[in-house]
Copies of this chain bind each other. A is one copy, B any other.
C-alpha cells in the first residue's frame, strides 16, 4: 500500500527501506533535502492518495508535537497518522483527541529493533481503533519480524507506546542485572574466565537471551570493557515507566534501581554523597576527601 514516512533518519530511513523491499509505495519526507522525496509536509500530503496514511518517525516531544499538528492541518477526514517515535502515551491520547475532531485517525506504534530491524524486522506494539489498525495491517506485516510474534494490538490509543515503555523498563532491569553480575565476577577474583562464563551461559541456562548474546559480542570485542566509560544515557521510557508506576502505586524496585544507576553514572561527583561525607565528618571526625 501507499504510505508517507516523515523522518528518514537511522530508524525512519531503514523502516522506509524495509517497506519498499516489501513492495509498498513509500513517499518520504525529511528536513534534509538530500534524503527527502518531497520538499515539504504539504507536498508529501499532496503526493498521497486519500485515504492517506502518514507515519511520523521524528524525535519525541516538540518535533513530534509540531509534526502531528501540521499534519492535522494538512490531512483530511479518513486519513490516519501513525506515531512510530518514542512518544509518551499521554501525548498520544492528546494527539488522538485533537485529530479526531477533524475526523483523522491516530495510531501509536512502539517500535523495537534498533539497528538490527532492517534485516530482522521491527517488533511493533500498536494502540488505536480496530478499523485503523486493520487498514494498516499490510504495513505492520512488512515491518514486523517473520513468524507469529513481534506484533500486538495492545489496546486503544496510547497502548502501543505504553507497552513499548514497559518493554523498555523491563530492558533496563535486565541490562542492569547482567551488569551487576559482571561487576561482581570481575571484583571477586574467584572466577578467572569471566568472559567464558558469560559465553557458556548462552545455552542451557535460565538467563539465555538476546541481551546475553549481545554481551558476549561486546566481551569478544573488548574482554574487560576497558575501552568504555561507565556512562549511560536514558531515553525517556525508563523515566516514564517509573512515573507511571508511582501514579498507579505500583512498586518497581528493580526497574527504578536500574534507572537511578544510569542517573548516577552521569555524575562526576555525587551531591548526595557530599552530604554523607559532611555528616560523617561532623559526628565522627572521619576524614573527608577534598
Contacts and interface: CB of A to CB of B under 8 A. Distances in A.
Interface of A: 10, 89, 112-117, 120-125, 127, 144-147, 149-156, 158-159, 162-163, 166-188, 190-193, 196-197, 199-212, 214-215, 217-218, 222, 225, 227-234, 239, 241-267, 269-286, 288-290
A256 B234 CA distance: 18
B251 A263 contact: yes
Contacts of A231: 273, 277, 288-289
A64 to B, nearest CB: 19
A218 B282 contact: yes
Nearest to A271: B183
A163 B289 CA distance: 29
Contact of A151 (B121, B200, B210, B275): B200
Nearest to A122: B204
A164 B126 CA distance: 39
Given A114-B284, A229-B288, A173 B180 contact: yes
Contacts of A153: 193, 196
A290 B115 contact: no
Given A179-B273, A248-B187, A290-B228, A203 B145 contact: yes
A196 B152 contact: yes
Each complex incorporates copies of this chain amounting to 4
A147 B274 CA distance: 29
Secondary structure type dominating chain A contacts: helix
A189 to B, nearest CB: 9
B270 A260 contact: no
A175 B280 CA distance: 9
B184 A279 contact: no
A-B pairs, top 8 by smallest CB distance, nearest first, are A173-B177, A209-B209, A230-B273, A123-B204, A152-B200, A251-B260, A230-B270, A179-B275
B263 A228 contact: no
Nearest to A266: B249
A196 to B, nearest CB: 5
B206 A208 contact: no
B241 A243 contact: no
Contacts of A248: 184, 187-188
Contact of A163 (B158, B176, B185, B247): B185
Contact of A125 (B183, B197, B261): B197
B283 A114 contact: yes
A173 B170 contact: no
8 contacts: A149-B203, A153-B193, A155-B191, A162-B190, A173-B173, A187-B249, A215-B282, A253-B257
Contacts of A177: 169-174, 177, 254-255, 258
A215 B115 contact: no
